[in-house]
Amino acid sequence: MKIIRHLSERNLFSLAVLWAIAITVASLVSLNGMPNVEVPVNDKTVHFIFYFVFTLLWYFALKKKIKNRLLKFLIVGVAIIYGIIIEVLQGVLTQNRQADIYDALANSGGALLALLVIVWLERKTFKEKI
């Protein structure tokens, strides 16, 4: 958590935007002709981690700018919808990729776990202030 505290809102916002762009590019750009990189973890684990980080980055980037108790739920909803849209676009726009419901579920699972972490951190922070 100390790392997040030291990052400015501006840096977090830039990082969140770059992370979203990276997910989009990694999901939609053809990798034909690129060297094959073996990932030692399951594909669904990668999806889960990407959307877990996506949700946390956007929450921490926006929580001081947008003072709304429902922000965390809005961000999780956007992350889930974004993950579904990316999966649909993979099926429609790409020739070497296909839409996968299990990828969308892994994306959603990462966003939902991030929500649990956010709620836990908020409660912990609230208790420390009392």
pLDDT above 90 as % of the chain: 65
User: Which tens digits make up the pLDDT trace of 84-130?
Assistant: 999 999 999 988 888 999 999 999 999 999 999 999 999 887 766 65
pTM score: 0.85
> What Å distances lie between residue 110 and 49, 64, 87, 126, CA to CA?
6, 23, 15, 24
